A and B are shown apart, each in its own frame.
Chain A
Amino acid sequence: DSGVTQTPKHLITATGQRVTLRCSPRSGDLSVYWYQQSLDQGLQFLIQYYNGEERAKGNILERFSAQQFPDLHSELNLSSLELGDSALYFCASSAGDSQNNEQYFGPGTRLTVT
């Protein structure tokens, strides 16, 4: 158990809909990262927050957004969903903002768009 929790575990929704994925980092970790894993693209970094502020952006679509709340949990919002958004979405957390910090991953949310 990494200490990172993600809800829900599975999500099935229709094209055009909007969903929210939730992540609670390990106790004390200030950084939260979101990654997407699909069969054709592998694991890809989406976005990072550090202590409530956006720190880095990766290949995140404009239809996707995220935020980190004062209690450090984070939400990833996916809107106008398309079939290609079906993937595993992982959240990870780390203690700070150093290159030396390891990231701890949650179990993921499996999103299926039909």
Chain B
Amino acid sequence: DAKTTQPNSMESNEEEPVHLPCNHSTISGTDYIHWYRQLPSQGPEYVIHGLTSNVNNRMASLAIAEDRKSSTLILHRATLRDAAVYYCILKSQGGSEKLVFGKGMKLTVNP
């Protein structure tokens, strides 16, 4: 599976938008971009995924660069509950369905 690069950590303020970046310069044409997050003392939680087009769901939006070498997870109004470790993961078409977690990015939300 291709590798992703995320900042180690980010801080945001409550009720403000947060943009979480992810670089994946070696992405292949059929790799899906998945985002998961892990809240303290909980199991990972699916957030969103996409292939080429931007995606929106009730939790977040995923903006994918035109060349697909980077993507941004957007939380429109951060809440204290969004404080978590966020993982950007590529899943290869035809490969295993397993998730390969990197170190992720710790998001701190300030009240």
- A residues at B contact (CB < 8 Å): 2, 4, 31, 33, 35, 42-45, 48, 55-56, 58, 90, 92, 94, 97-108
Please name all residues of chain B whose beta carbon is closer than 8 Å to the beta carbon of A48 when the two chains form the complex.
96-98
* Segment touching A, from B12-20, B40-48, B65-73: B40-48
Separation of A2 and B43 alpha carbons in the complex (Å)? 9
Given A99-B91, A99-B93, A100-B49: A106 and B43 interface contact (C-beta under 8 Å): yes
Please name all residues of chain A whose beta carbon is closer than 8 Å to the beta carbon of B98 when the two chains form the complex.
33, 45, 48, 56, 58
Q: 7 pairs across A/B with beta carbons < 8 Å?
A: A2-B43, A2-B45, A33-B99, A35-B99, A90-B44, A92-B43, A99-B93
- Give the B interface residue count (CB, 8 A): 25
Interface-centre pick from B91, B94, B97, B100 (highest chain A CB count, 10 A): B97
Q: Top 6 closest A-B pairs, CB basis?
A: A105-B43, A43-B101, A102-B46, A45-B98, A56-B96, A105-B44
B46–A99 touching, CB < 8 Å: no
In-complex Cβ contact of A45 among B46, B49, B99 (8 A): B99
Given A100-B49, A102-B34: A56 and B43 interface contact (C-beta under 8 Å): no
In-complex Cβ contact of B97 among A2, A35, A43, A99 (8 A): A99
Please name all residues of chain A whose beta carbon is closer than 8 Å to the beta carbon of B102 when the two chains form the complex.
42
